[in-house]
Structure 1
């Protein structure tokens, strides 16, 4: 570690020292390997930017670039990872599968699928696939791409990739693959197929995983069918092994009878072969070989269903029940996502006093509040026109909790000033954001322009627009 730090300081003082491909690659590899967050990745990112400015990216080898892409994805710089991986392919270098899998799992669906297609295209053209075994996609790589298909709602692409899995060594579908298939069927509006996936997992000789049951609960919550989601969670709590039988009953219940309107994707028929044939009437439903108690992720997903339905008391009661159950079942203990869901629900109900009290509850439970938790609360105060409370919470977040405000935090506060007709306050926050090193987004500029336009200062609004045009980090959009 000390030698890597010394090498980086030497490079920072004399960039020309990295004219050797070996030196450049080794330094980037070491910096990337040690990166565990956006803060620790900053040195590797700085090295990449300097080399790019000097036209020296061609000095880097496949190993160092793969490590850098993987570290970039893990550190929240998925777009940088995407750019690095595509530049490797253009140079004829094949990336390690772990690097493009990490990027695919964090990129927007369109970019994730474009990258995966490019990887497969280059692998098919490779003269000797045995020498590129490190780059061949495995099940995890396909699962990341399949998840992108589900997020994009692309049934046909999902089916194509699913069929292709078995043509690659070490890429057979696993329980997680079928759990992603549940998400795909749900996105396609195929309630009937969702109910059959669990049986398909068992008939394939696989054991379901915790994600399988989370996906089932999430699917029915997404359909707006809270009673069925509750039945699945209760069956999990009771340790029932006949979940397949329960789902068979669910499959025959019509959406109309349950008062649910679901839009079915016109291409969803291609998913039927993945799920398998409808069970014949009278056949025994397979039993689970073990129980799957609900964890905090499952409970929180059900809570989100209550939140979407405006059932505030049920959300609060669920969190309370999770705390009690967590005393004997640690996996059920509420986490920061659970508490943030409670905060979201109370903010939506305009109950800011109870929403803020959740922070104290989190502290007592030893669960640190996240930036998202604070941002939700700040937004609630801004919507209630309580800007002084919002600013106090910002101070508490940055000073007491030692959490840095991000662009979402500042955009929310600036929008709050707009609601209060406080143009000076909006401008002060915009300048504070830049002083603290937080890059403004397109929304930052458009919100500030809206403030000046609403206060009868079109010239100042136009000046902000001109600044926006000069900022290479943002795109001028239609609202601007």
Structure 2
């Protein structure tokens, strides 16, 4: 029986056979169906029949109206609640907060949240608001939420801790994550692997090898089985940071970490690392391995493409694409994105635009990363004003693109480079590449006034 049929059956029913619990059940059905109009009419009918409004009916009606009703229906409900003396009932506020979060309305959610007593705010409310802060790019509001959580003296469980760590990662507030790394170390219970995965992801984004290795050690101490993805991410970071410089060191890494080399993520990371080191023979050997499955095979070719692009060998990268096509492998979104990254690092803007056009013709959307690539291509191609304009216009959160602008600016204008460096610190953050760029500029101009860079680099490491 549909919600509408239940609704009409209840309205036509004899008062002698109807009890308040019937309204609770039908209102719950309205909530599941998203039928806000029927829910409000039920509440009105319940009142007209002289029943005392039950908490379940009122709360469920408030939830369905907040999530699915329009402003007219919302005003009708608020007037009814006011007439019943329930407009400020604290039992209803969590429903309004949840509904506002579900609709993505952070202003209303935060306003309603502040109306609640700090001791009455359940942890799921914090979780929803934390997620929304990350989605809406609201770092200051996230900070206020953390303060409210600390003042409430509530013990944050794994779910809340995970949301906080993920939010700071999504907002590129990588320095904040050190605090949560320390909290995790002090915990009397073991956090789940999701939290470690996000912390590892943050360390990878920040290019902080020591921190990534520390997280890996924490995983072992906590007795959590290491995910194969950890090994792949760690290997890539060690290659990027120059800790692993030779192919045989990759094999040594695999043995030390007991990495499952048949796992798709580990295998593709190994191929990427070999390609980045320029080991064409090693890459070719892994690509020819008959044990590789079809889906893993596509990942392997994309990893080889990305690594060769980072290595700067565009001829090799183009050859890999042609060979993949010859073998009948379908070019994926990731394939085009890796091509775009390779050409952007070489400053080849026109070719980047051609790659984008081809991807669009194939019906592929390369997402926000395409903007970061175009920024990098402009910066490395010498169009610094165009790169900065595009970076700001598309709210790019790519540190690689920001570093490309910094590198290009440092060879042209000392003052602009320093200004951009400070903007990075306040936004996407800085890493070894950023500091080394400033140090290179200071040494080239004999600038003792740039010694302020050194403590930051030491602290970063």
User: Which TM-score tier does this pair reach, normalised by the shorter chain?
Assistant: 0.3 to 0.5
Q: TM-score, normalised by structure 1?
A: 0.42
Structure showing greater radius of gyration is: 2
